[in-house]
Amino acid sequence: MTAQRAMTFGVVVGNRGFFPGHLAKTGRDEIISVLEAAGARAVVLGPEESRHGAVETYAESQLCAELFKKHAEEIDGIIITLPNFGEERGIVDAIRLSGLKVPVLLQATPDRSDAMTIATRRDSFCGKMSACNNLMQYGIPYSLTTLHTESLSSAEFKADLEWFSAVCRIVKGLKNLRIGAIGARPAAFNTVRYSERIFETAGISIEPIDLSEIFGRINRLKDNDDAAQAKLAAIKSYVTTTGIADAALLKMAKLGAVIDGWMKQTNVTISAVQCWTSFEEFFGVVPCTIMSMMSNNLIPSACEVDVPGTLSMYMLALASGTPSALLDWNNNYGSHPDKCVCFHCSNLPKHFFAKPPTMDYQEIIAGTVGKENTYGTCVGRVKSGAMSFARYSTDDRRGVIRGYTGPGKFTDDPLDTFGGAGVAEIPQLQKLLKYICREGFEHHVAANFSDVSKAIHEAATRYLGWESYFHGPAEE
C-alpha cells in the first residue's frame, strides 16, 4: 500500500525595499506554482495584503502571522523563499508571532552571472546567511537546501521539497501520538524494555491493555459477528491460507476485529503486541497475519511489545508513505562483511515480499507449544530494492531518546530459510554493527523500501530533539 497526503506549507516571501521589488513579485508567483505542481498548497499573503505579497515590515509580519494562525491545523511546515536579500527581521518575526512549531525550510534563489545590474541583482546568497543568523537568535530550528542557492524550478529544489515534506510528515505524525501496548513484553526479552515517561516528555503516550482483556473480548464475539466475518474475508484476500484450519482463521479474524475496535475506542494509532507465548498457549494461533495486515495499511504493529520498534516503523512510514517492517539483525551472510540476513517469524507486511506470501506456522516456537497452536505467520522472501533502516529508543540512564538511521538495500542473493527473510547490504555494515553493540541498541530494526533516512535523521535531530547517528555518506 502507498498513501501520501497532500501537504500544506506556510510561505514567507522575503523582500528588502532597496532591492528589486519585481523579484519578490515573481518569486512569490514561482513558489506558488512550484508547490501546486508538487500537489501541495501554499498559505501565503496576497499582493493586496502586503507589498508583492511578501514580508518586510513588522506590520506585514503581523499579517503573515495572523494568516498562519488561521491555518495552523493545516500547515505542515514553513518555507522561507528569498527572491532577493530579504528583510531578516520581518521573516523571523512572522514565524515567531504565528506561534507555529513546525519545520522550516530556507531557500534562496541564485543570481545569474549575466544579470548583475542594480535592476536585477538578488543578493539572496548573502541574505540567506542573515536570515539563518536571525532564526538562530530567535531559537527557531530550520532546515537548509542541498545547495546554498537553488532555483525553485531546479531538480535540486524538487528533491529538497520531497525531503522536507517527509521531515514535516514525521514531525506532525508524532505530535500527540498514542501507541498501543498489547500485552506484557515476553519475560525473556529485557532488550525491548523502554521508558514510558521519557516518551511522554516527547508527547508520545503509551496505552496498555492486558492480553486477558483481549481474550475476554474475543470470547464475547459470536462466530457470525459482522466485524469478525469482515476481518475473516480480509484475511483470505490478503494471504494464501491453503491448509489452515477454519477454526484457526476464525480466531485470527476475531483477534483482528477486537484489536481494531480497541484501537479506535482508545484513539491509538499504532501498536506493539506480545506475540509469544501466551497467544499460542492460551489462544491457539499467532497474531502475525493480523499485525502484517495493519503494517501493510500504514498502521505499524511490532512484535514482542517493542514500542520503540513500532515508533521507528511509523517514522519510516510517515516519511515514505509506504509500509514498514520490524526485523531482526539476524545472521551474517557468508563471509561478506557488508551483507547480513534480516529475518522475522513473520509478521512482515505483504508489501515486503517478492511474491505473494503464504500463511504458515511459527517454526521457532512450534516445538514448545505445538505446531497446531502456531498458525498465522506470513512467510516468504523479502524482495530486492533500495531501503532505509531506523531504530529510536529511550536511553533510561540518561533520560533521552536516541537512535540511528541510514540507507541500504535488500538483494537477490540466494537464501534458503524459513519465516520472512531477506539479504540486506549496507555499506560499512561492520561499523554499524559495532555502533549498535557499543551503544547497547536492540537487535530489532525497522526497515522501509524507500530512501528517507536523511529525512528521518533531520526530523530527529533538528525538530524532535533526539540524538541520532546517520550511517551513510557524510552529510554535505
Q: Enumerate the domain spans of the chain.
A: 8-174, 178-470
- What class does CATH assign to 8-174? alpha beta
What's residue 20's pLDDT?
A: 84
pLDDT of residue 3: 63
Could you read off the pLDDT of 61-103 as tens digits, one per residue? 999 999 999 999 999 999 999 999 999 999 999 999 999 999 9
pLDDT along the chain (476 residues), means of 10: 82 91 95 98 98 97 98 98 96 98 98 91 96 98 98 98 98 98 94 97 98 98 98 98 97 98 98 94 96 98 98 98 98 98 96 97 92 96 98 97 98 97 98 98 98 98 98 75
- The pLDDT assigned to 475 comes to 59
Angle made by CA atoms 202, 203, 206, in degrees to the nearest 5? 105
Give pLDDT, residue 21.
85
DSSP string, 334-364: TT-TTEEEEEESS---GGGBSS--EEEE-HH
- Other beta carbons within 10 angstroms of residue 72's beta carbon come to 14
Instruction: Provide the edge-to-edge strand list for the sheet that holds 178-182.
Output: 205-209, 178-182, 270-273, 301-303
Q: Which CATH number fits domain 178-470: 1.10.3470, 3.30.750, 3.30.460, 3.20.14?
A: 3.20.14
Amino acid present at 452: V
Residue 473: its pLDDT value, please?
Answer: 85
Pick from 191, 143, 140: nearest CA to 167: 143
Q: Are 11 and 32 in contact (CB under 8 A)?
A: yes
| CA dist., res. 316 & res. 7, Å (int) | 17
Q: What's the confidence (pLDDT) of residue 118?
A: 86
Residue pointed to by grid coordinates 477454526: 247
Going by C-beta distance under 8 Å and a sequence separation of 6 or more, which residues neighbour residue 210?
Answer: 183, 184
